[in-house]
Structures are given as C-alpha cells and as structure tokens.
Amino acid sequence: MDYMLYMSKIASYLLFIPASLMCLLPVRSHLRISGKKLVLILFPSFVLYSLLISFAELQIPITNHNIPFTLTVPVCFVFYCLAVDLENIKLFYLTINAMALFSFGGLAYFMVEAYMKNHHLNNPFYIASLTAQWSITILFICFIFLPFLNKKNNWIVDHFHTKSVWNIVWIVPALITFCNYMMIPVNHKNATVGRIFELYLLIDFTLLLLFLLFQLMFYRIARNLTDKSEQEQKVQLFEIQSRQYQLLLDYINETSKLRHDFRHTARTLYALAREENWHDLLLYLEEYNLELDSYRPWFFCRHSAANAILAHYAGFSQSQNIEIDWRVDLPEQISISDVDLCSILGNLLENAIHGCIKIPPSQRYINLSMDLNKNKELYLICVNSFDGIVKKSRHQYLSTKKDGNGMGLLSISITVEKYHGVTRFYHSDSEFYSEIMLNMP
C-alpha cells in the first residue's frame, strides 16, 4: 500500500473538520449540546472516518475521488440538523455556503495536479495539490470567513426569518459550487494548453468575487428588511399609543361634561327620592352607571407603551367575547426598549387571541400576569384556552393559521435571548401556557 497516498487521502477528508467549524460557529448559540461535548464527539469521529474511508478508497478502485467525498456531505448534514436547534432550511444554506467556499480549494487541488503532470515534475503531485488545497482553505477561513462571513451569517440566522427568501437564497452558492465542480479538468493535458490555465484562474477569481458580493448583498438585504420590520413595529406602537391617548382625551372630556351636568343629575335624584319614586330612581342610577362605564379607559400599569399595547388587545379581546384577567405590575420606566417589550406582548396576545377564537365564546379566556422582582427580573405568564390542536416541528410550535409561518413564538424567543432570558411554551388538552423571564440590563 502506498502510505504517502494513504496519508494524503486522510488529509483530504480531514477538511471536513474546518468545514464543520464553518457550519457550527454561526449557530453556536443554537446547539443542542455544549460546544465542548460536540468537539469531543466531532473531531475523533472525523479522524476515524477519514482513516476508514481512505483505506476503503485504496482497496476499491474509484475513478472519481469526488464521489465518496460528495456522498459524505448528506450524512454530515443529517447529524448537523440533529445537533442544532434551528430550521433545516437555514442549516442547508450554511452547508451549501461552506461547500461553495471549500470548492475553491478543491479546484486548486486539481489545477495544481494538472500543472505538475503536464510539466513532468518529480514530486508526488498529490502532496503539492493537497498543500495548495489546505493553504487556500486556511487562508479563506482566516481572511474571509472569520472576519467577514461568520458574524454576518450569525446575525442573519438569528434575526432574518422570511421563509420565502430562505427557500431560494441557497441557489447562488449552490451554482458557484457546481461551476467549480464543472471546471475540474477531465483530462489534465488540456488544463495548461495555451492560456487555458490563466483563464481558469480568472474565472475562479471572478466566481470568488461573485460569492463574496452575494454574501454582502444578502446580508444588507436581510438587514434592511429586518430594520424595516422593526420600523413598522415602532409605527404600529405609536399608532396604538396615539389611539389610547385620544381615548384618554375623550374620557377626560366626557367626564368633565358629566361633572358639569352632575348638578342637574343631583337635582333629579333628589326629586325622585323626595317623591319616593324608587323604581324610576333605580332606573336613572342604572342608566347613569352605564354611561360612566362606557367612557372608562383600560388601565393596567404605569408603563405607557405596555399599557397602550395591553389596552389595544384588551379592547379586541372584549369584542371577541374573550374573558380577560390581566394583572400587570410595571413601573413607569424599565431598561427594556419599548419596541422589544411591545413586540413580546403583541406576539403573545395575538397567539392567545387566535387560540381563543377557535372555541365557543363561553370557553374563551386569557389570564396574564406580569411583574418585576427585586432582582431586576421580569416575569410574564400567560394562559389561554384553545382547542388543543397544535403543530410542532421538533421542539418548535408552528402556526395553525392558514399560510402561517409560526414566527410569533420564535420572534418572542429571539427577543428574550437579547436580554439573556428564557422562554417556555407548552400545552394541555385545553390550555396553552407561555412562561417568559427576562433579565434587566
């Protein structure tokens, strides 16, 4: 057995280690097990796999070295999905991204091989080819992935959730990988004829620039769409606060009018009591109480933004015959942004209301408690009735709305993570439970 060739094949398969790091670093906050445990499992597994598959390649004649290499990728992707608690489409994009970046080093391997064979160099071509492949891979990781792609991919998978975009965005790195694969010379003698070798380098450099340009464009588009969504949330919050402010003004004006007219009311009550007309007196008082109640605004807490969003959904719940029991104790100022707090409350109450309207009005209710303890921890518990029907993908609840994407609870979890908090969602046959804890900055 050619031990030098055997070692070179092992080294080529060990490229899966940096490739796996490239896939795992952007999603390290979503790992199902600790990073240390994963490393202890991952590295020995790849080393053992490299030893076995390289030995098998030497025993079984294979005309194309890329075949076992390519077949290894789907197996790795399955374990990738098991190790990371994230949507498969995002993991698929990161996998194709890593393949695209590593395909440049792979093409370099075959180009160096063709160059050495055509120039009749005495050194074993696979040593120089492998050295070129590893060198380009390390350079790309150090100067492209770590300073540029890692943080941007991390931000994108954490904050960008437009499923229609994720379903197609992987096509570009897949095309670049395919182009690099198709550029592998079938006959090494043709690779250095005339200016073919220089043309190969030019095309590959152009593909690399296109790959980097695509990464930058995707990040900027995702960032702009996310910022636009946040701005829309702010506008929505301001509109809700404006409506609540107008309701308060109306309440002040109406109560002022009632106070002004109260002397006439007092005279009427005095006259009815003096005549001992108790029936008309009770009817008058009942009508007067109803008139007072009709102008009463919702008030839950001193935090103006939270009170506005709660009042908005309380009014909507009332219109849907949903019984509410909301106990909120928030101060006037807290160290959570109004947009984040109202995003959590809005998504939570929208899900609760959506669950309630599926059952008869007599069974609809939403219980909500929210308070801030002395340790600066904000606790939020919501319990709502629903029909008991849920959709889940692994550990994540999905929307049961038509064409729903299940982003409500996911958005809550992502916002809570910003404050190093925790979320817990679970259900029984007739109730859905949401438990949230946020640490105040």
Section 291-302 average pLDDT: 68
**pLDDT tens track for 376-386:** 889 999 999 99
Domain 299-441 has CATH 3.30.565.10: yes
Over 50: is that where the pLDDT of 405 sits? no
Over 70: is that where the pLDDT of 67 sits? yes
Mean of pLDDT over the chain:
84
In 3D, which of 35, 43, 102 has the Cα closest to residue 70? Answer: 102
Q: CA 113 to CA 383: how far, in whole Å?
A: 66
Distances (CA, A) of 428 to 137, 351, 412, 432: 51, 16, 21, 6
Confidence band, pLDDT 50/70/90 cuts, at residue 403:
very low
pTM over 0.75? The answer is no
- Six-digit token pair at 228? 């636009």
Over 50: is that where the pLDDT of 417 sits? yes
Q: CA 90 to CA 161: how far, in whole Å?
A: 9
Which residue matches tokens 């050194």?
A: 123
pLDDT at 76: 92
Q: Please name the helix (run of DSSP H) or strand (run of DSSP E) that holds residue 115, with its range, or none.
A: helix 88-118
The most confident of the ranges 111-120, 337-346, 394-403, 429-438 is 429-438
Weakest mean pLDDT among 9-18, 397-406, 415-424? 397-406
Section 168-189 average pLDDT: 90
pLDDT at 293: 55
**pLDDT tens track for 83-105:** 998 889 999 999 999 999 999 99
Confidence band, pLDDT 50/70/90 cuts, at residue 254:
low
pLDDT at 291: 62
Over 70: is that where the pLDDT of 333 sits? yes
Q: Based on C-alpha coordinates, what's the Rg of the chain?
A: 32
Confidence band, pLDDT 50/70/90 cuts, at residue 360:
very high
Beta bridge partners of 424: 435
Q: CA 185 to CA 206: how far, in whole Å?
A: 18
Which residue matches tokens 């080529």?
A: 12
Section 182-211 average pLDDT: 86
Confidence band, pLDDT 50/70/90 cuts, at residue 193:
confident
Tally the residues of the chain.
441
pLDDT at 294: 53
Section 282-288 average pLDDT: 76
**pLDDT tens track for 346-355:** 889 988 999 9
Helical packing angle, 150-159 and 407-418, nearest 10°:
130
Weakest mean pLDDT among 153-162, 244-253, 269-278, 357-366? 244-253
Over 90: is that where the pLDDT of 58 sits? no
Helical packing angle, 171-182 and 196-274, nearest 10°:
170
The most confident of the ranges 55-59, 74-78, 162-166 is 74-78
Selected residue with higher pLDDT from 287 and 139: 139
Label the pairing between strands 431-439 and 391-393.
unpaired
Residues 348/369, Cβ–Cβ less than 8 Å: no
Portion of the chain with pLDDT greater than 90, in percent: 39
Section 49-75 average pLDDT: 81
Selected residue with higher pLDDT from 228 and 280: 228
pLDDT at 5: 80
Residues 153/144, Cβ–Cβ less than 8 Å: no
- Six-digit token pair at 40? 């202890």
Amino acid at residue number 124: P
DSSP string, 202-268: HHHHHHHHHHHHHHHHHHHHHHHHHHHHHHHHHHHHHHHHHHHHHHHHHHHHHHHHHHHHHHHHHHH
Sign, CA dihedral 72-16-148-421, equals positive
Section 47-57 average pLDDT: 89
Over 60: is that where the pLDDT of 286 sits? yes
Over 90: is that where the pLDDT of 168 sits? yes
Over 80: is that where the pLDDT of 330 sits? yes
Which residue matches tokens 């694969």?
A: 181
Selected residue with higher pLDDT from 120 and 166: 166
Distances (CA, A) of 101 to 21, 46, 376, 388, 405: 13, 20, 45, 46, 31
Domain boundaries, the chain: 3-233, 299-441
Section 217-234 average pLDDT: 87
